[in-house]
Amino acid sequence: MSLAERLMDSSLMRRNNALRSFTVAAWLGWQIESNWADPFLFAIYSIARPVASVMILVVMYSVITNGALDQPIFAYVYLGNALYILVGQVITGVSWVVIDDREHYRVAKQLFTMPMNHALYLLGRGVARLLIGTISLIIVVGFGMIVYKIPISAATIDWPVFLASMALGITTLAALGLILGALTMMMARHFWVLGEAVAGALYLFCGAIFPLETLPAWLRVVGFAFPVTYWLEVTRRALLGPDAVGFPTLVWLSDKQLLLILVGSALLMVIGSMSFYRWAVYRAKDKGILDMETSY
């Protein structure tokens, strides 16, 4: 019996429904995500995609600035883009499970007849993608430090702020993933992935690669209402240290204030996502589409 199996067989797991749903789903998610015929391909997958997305930005930046990658603002842009990898991975990781279980493995019916917490099951299934995203993030940041001299050092990182911000950010993203998962329950399987599409669209509003001031005033509102904006800002500050030159958008907020906003928004998102998810399950059952199979 492996360690994971032993852990899942412990009496605590057997007693605690929520914990069991989450951990078994996380284990299952990892089995599925890592079940590649070729581990080399799996490693490439974890690196190639994020590095490519960062390189698009680097090329765009250097085409216009004639390769002036040593400007302090570049580190901000680079890190914003790198951290954004987690947005796509976490929200897709959680929401895609609905399609995967419903239309690929066709176990939606069975899952909903099991005594478990389905919302936590979805979140658990997303853990594998979070891990892959984290590995990608570390690789991309490491790549930036070596190749583009992004000024990050372990000594200057504000660790408490960084860790708090990551925890809150990931919680917020998981909740957003759950909302999209709930939405997916009522949608057909399309050729694009909802999580990816939403992550791509929200890229516009969160100040990841350009300051919100560049947007028209009416669009900026969306950015200010989107918790990821604050998460990216405070995480970049924690990583780059006090001397970092950032975007002007949120300079009037201290790290503490940013963290407080994140706590509030994470709480709201968690409560909101759970309620929305419950409503979506009810609605899907009402319409009889919980286990529908759609294709065209």
What phi-psi label fits residue 149: left (phi over 0), alpha (psi between -120 and 50 degrees) or beta? left
Q: What angle do CA 80, 82, 86 make, to 5 degrees?
A: 100
Question: Which DSSP string do the residues of 41-110 spell out, in sequence order?
Answer: HHHHHHHHHHHHHHHHHHHHHHHHHTS-TTSHHHHHHHHHHHHHHHHHHHHHHHHHHHHIIIIIS--HHH
Site mask for other proteins (CB under 8 A), range 105-124, x = bound: xx------------------
For residue 224, which of 203, 207, 244 has the smallest C-alpha distance?
Answer: 207
Of 16-24, 52-60, 158-166, 257-265, the window that binds other proteins (rule: CB under 8 A) is 52-60
| Smallest gap from residue 264 Cβ to other proteins (A) | 26
61 or 231, CB closer to other proteins?
61
Site mask for other proteins (CB under 8 A), range 208-227, x = bound: xxxx--xx------------
Q: Is 56 in the site for other proteins (CB under 8 A)?
A: yes
CA-CA-CA-CA dihedral for 189, 191, 192, 194, to nearest 10:
0
> Which of 61, 76, 226, 231 is in the footprint of other proteins by CB under 8 A?
61
35 or 113, CB closer to other proteins?
35
Of 33-41, 157-165, 224-232, 267-275, the window that binds other proteins (rule: CB under 8 A) is 33-41
Instruction: Please give the Cα distance from 211 to 58 (Å, whole number).
Output: 17
252 or 296, CB closer to other proteins?
296
Return the residues of window 81-110 that contact other proteins according to CB under 8 A: 103-106
- The residue written with tokens 């609905």 in the block is 98
Written as one letter, the residue type at 220 is R
Instruction: Please give the Cα distance from 198 to 211 (Å, whole number).
Output: 20
| Smallest gap from residue 236 Cβ to other proteins (A) | 16
| Smallest gap from residue 15 Cβ to other proteins (A) | 30
Binding site for other proteins (CB under 8 A): 35-38, 41-42, 44-45, 48-50, 52-53, 55-57, 59-65, 77, 103-106, 187-188, 190-194, 197-198, 200-204, 208-211, 214-215, 292-296
